[in-house]
């Protein structure tokens, strides 16, 4: 089943269960400077989870584009993405555990036809802040989930939120799909990262507000916040073990594989770069649609970093960067069904990305030369750390964000002196400020 079909079925199911389908918010949060990007479907709903009345009532559902840069270095493996879509349904002081779990169970087993044997669930084991969630486990048992498919874990696994230091949060029950792969060892269970179990849906019972002092106060209303990662669900239900094989990414991955000049022996490196390019380019396009432009601060800086990173990976995979324009055109054609806004803003997307590419390419080749010289020097000195001065010069003169230098250095087994870079960067900023 294609991702868009899962999305449509999901919305239809919750509409049938009296939810109002609301629009997703911008990737740039409207009234919250504590995060740069919308990290989860619940984030734009925070005031309503805290008690404000939502104009559409107490049951809402939607799909929400999210960006999480915390995992940026993980992109390149089989399932991490910086930009993904989350399906969500919310009870704003309406239904709680029983109805929420039953709806999730019915959607998965009836609308998506998943066999019960494939479903595993986890519940909160309890601590001094909140008791063991036997209630959720019982609801799962009654629905037909066998005892040996129910696990209890601590806060690390079965507690969600708040976003930042304070705000709505609570125990959660997570739903996993058993891919049927062999267990990696005797203790393999849904919390194991080996890939046997894939988390597909998280139902959070948001009944607490975490306060500045770290304590939890009960909210006036009990809420439910659920999140189903669309790309990961599509990967799982399509029987793929790599998210880049789903129809959203496959055509672009094939195009990149055809464009790389790396030979068969280097294909693992190329594959990793292709995944980074596919993820980052999609993230960059959707950020541009939401009004972000490359700059040296905040959202603009992250966008710049993402763009420069995928351009560097095009070079690393020996892909001619001149294909970027046609790559963007082809990608938009693939994504159009899910994101028609990309077509409407195509001219702007092309303008921003091609201008940034041009700017970066001017200095990239010289910067790489400079970097390579520095690495030879470091290795000759038997040193394992690249000095902050070089990292700063690469940033200042060649526009290498320090993360790119770090990544390049890592590929050579070298660390960078980030602390010293930051010191030099601050001094430089203060000097520029004093001058202006
Ligand atoms: N907020 C939860 C999550 O992001 C459920 O939507 O996983």
Ligand 1 binding pocket mutation candidate from 41, 156, 174 (most atoms within 8 A of CB): 41
Lowest mean pLDDT among 196-210, 235-249, 284-298, 358-372: 358-372
At residue 322, the 3 state secondary structure works out as: helix
pLDDT for res 145: 98
Residue with tokens 């809402």: 60
Look at residues 208, 36, 203, 62 and name the one whose alpha carbon lies nearest to residue 135: 203
Q: Return the ∠ at Cα 28 (arms to 27 and 32), rounded to 5°.
A: 130
Confidence of residue 256 (pLDDT cuts 50, 70, 90): very high
Q: How many CB atoms lie within 10 A of CB 337?
A: 12
Contact yes or no for 263/47 (Cβ under 8 A): no
The predicted structure's pLDDT at residue 204: 98
Q: Is 204 in the pocket of ligand 1 (CB under 6 A)?
A: yes
Q: What pLDDT is attached to residue 378? A: 92
Q: What confidence category does residue 32 fall into, taking pLDDT thresholds of 50, 70 and 90? A: confident
Inter-helix orientation angle 250-259/324-335, to 10°:
160
Closest CA to 289 of 30, 65, 31, 63: 65
Centre a 10 Å sphere on the Cβ of residue 278 and count the other Cβ atoms it contains: 26
- The model's pLDDT over 141-180, given as tens digits with 9 standing for 90+, comes to 999 999 999 999 999 999 999 998 999 999 999 999 999 9
**C-alpha Rg value of the chain to the nearest Å:** 23
- State phi, psi for 331 to the nearest 5 degrees: -65, -40
Per-residue pLDDT tens over the stretch 270-279: 899 999 999 9
Cα of 267 vs centre of ligand 1, distance in Å, is: 35
Are the CB atoms for 370 and 398 separated by under 8 Å? Answer: yes
Q: How far apart are CA 260 and CA 374, in angstroms?
A: 27
- Pocket lining: 160 vs ligand 1, CB cutoff 6 Å: yes
Name which residue sits closest to atom 4 of ligand 1, judged by CA: 40
Mean pLDDT across the stretch 24-32? 93
pLDDT, greater one: 73 or 84: 84
Query: Among 392, 407, 318, 395, which Cα is nearest to 364's?
Result: 395
Give the model confidence (pLDDT) of 127-136 as tens digits. 999 999 999 9
> How high is the pLDDT of residue 144?
97
Pocket test for ligand 1, best of 48, 66, 86 (most atoms within 8 A of CB): 86
The residue to which tokens 């809420």 are assigned: 223
225 CB near ligand 1 (under 6 Å): yes
pLDDT of residue 74: 85
Please give the full DSSP string across 345-379, using - where no structure is assigned: THHHHHHHHHHHHHHHHHHHHHHHHHHHHHHHHHH
pLDDT-derived band at 243 (thresholds 50, 70, 90) equals: very high
Query: How would you class 327 by CB atoms within 10 Å of its CB: exposed for 0-12, middle for 13-18, buried for 19 or more?
Result: buried
- Residue nearest atom 3 of ligand 1, based on CA coordinates: 227
42 close to ligand 1 (CB < 6 Angstrom): yes
Burial class of residue 55, CB neighbours in 10 A (0-12, 13-18, 19+): exposed
DSSP 91-143: ESSS--HHHHHHHHHHIIIIIS---GGGEEEEEE---SSS---HHHHHHHHHH
Residue nearest to atom 2 of ligand 1 (CA): 227
pLDDT grade for 435, boundaries at 50, 70 and 90: low
For the segment 317-321, the average pLDDT, to the nearest whole number, is 95
Give 265's pLDDT tier (boundaries 50, 70, 90): confident
> How far is the C-alpha of 365 from the C-alpha of 363, rounded, in Å?
6
The helix (run of H) or strand (run of E) holding residue 316 is helix 298-316
Answer yes or no: is the C-beta of 88 below 6 A from any ligand 1 atom: yes
Question: Domain 3-240: which topology?
Answer: BirA Bifunctional Protein; domain 2 (3.30.930)
**Phi and psi (nearest 5°) for 86?**
-120, 130
Choose the residue to mutate in 35, 37, 39, 40 for probing ligand 1, maximizing ligand atoms within 8 Å of C-beta. Answer: 40
Q: Which of 68, 171, 204, 228 to mutate to test the pocket of ligand 1 (most atoms within 8 A of CB)?
A: 204
What is the DSSP track for 376-427? Answer: HHHHHTT--EE-HHHHHHHHHHH---HHHHHHHHHTTT-EE-HHHHHHHHHH
Q: Is 41 in the pocket of ligand 1 (CB under 6 A)?
A: yes
Closest to 179 in 3D by CA, of 168, 164, 190, 163: 190
DSSP 3-state of 306? helix
């Amino acid at each position: 089943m294609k991702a868009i079909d899962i999305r449509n079925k999901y919305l239809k199911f919750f509409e049938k269960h009296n939810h109002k389908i609301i629009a997703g918010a911008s990737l740039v949060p409207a009234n919250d400077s504590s995060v740069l990007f919308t990290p989860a479907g619940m984030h734009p709903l925070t005031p309503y989870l805290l008690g404000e009345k939502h104009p559409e009532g107490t049951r809402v559902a939607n799909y929400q584009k999210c960006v999480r840069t915390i995992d940026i270095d993980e992109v390149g493996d089989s399932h991490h993405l910086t930009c993904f879509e989350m399906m969500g349904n919310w009870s704003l002081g309406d239904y709680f555990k029983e109805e929420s779990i039953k709806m999730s169970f019915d959607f998965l087993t009836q609308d998506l036809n998943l066999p019960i044997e494939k479903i595993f669930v986890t519940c909160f084991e309890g601590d001094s802040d909140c008791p063991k969630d036997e209630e959720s486990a019982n609801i799962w048992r009654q629905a037909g989930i066998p005892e040996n498919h129910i696990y209890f874990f601590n806060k690390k696994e079965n507690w969600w939120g708040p976003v930042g230091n304070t705000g709505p949060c609570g125990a959660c029950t997570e739903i996993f799909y058993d891919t049927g792969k062999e267990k990696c060892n005797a203790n393999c269970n849904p919390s194991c990262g080996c890939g046997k179990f894939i988390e597909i849906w998280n139902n959070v019972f948001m009944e607490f507000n975490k306060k500045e002092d770290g304590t939890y106060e009960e909210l006036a209303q009990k809420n439910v916040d659920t999140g189903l990662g669309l790309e990961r669900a599509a990967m799982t239900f399509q029987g793929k073990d790599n998210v880049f094989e789903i129809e959203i990414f496959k055509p672009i991955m094939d195009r990149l594989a055809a464009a790389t000049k790396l030979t068969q022996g280097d294909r693992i490196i190329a594959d990793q770069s292709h995944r980074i390019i596919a993820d980052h380019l999609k993230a960059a396009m959707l950020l541009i649609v939401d009004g972000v432009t490359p700059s040296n601060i905040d959202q603009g800086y992250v966008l710049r970093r993402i763009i420069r990173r995928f351009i560097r990976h095009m070079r690393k995979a020996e892909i001619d960067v001149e294909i970027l324009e046609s790559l963007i055109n082809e990608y938009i054609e693939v994504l159009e069904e899910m994101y028609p806004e990309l077509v409407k803003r195509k001219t702007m997307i092309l303008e921003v990305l091609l201008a940034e590419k041009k700017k970066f390419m001017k200095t990239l080749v010289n910067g790489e030369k400079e970097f390579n010289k520095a690495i030879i020097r470091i290795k000759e000195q038997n040193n394992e750390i690249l000095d902050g001065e070089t990292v700063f010069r690469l940033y200042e003169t060649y526009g290498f964000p320090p993360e790119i230098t770090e990544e390049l250095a890592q590929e050579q087994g070298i660390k960078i002196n980030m602390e010293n870079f930051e010191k030099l960067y601050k001094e430089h900023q203060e000097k520029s400020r004093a001058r202006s």
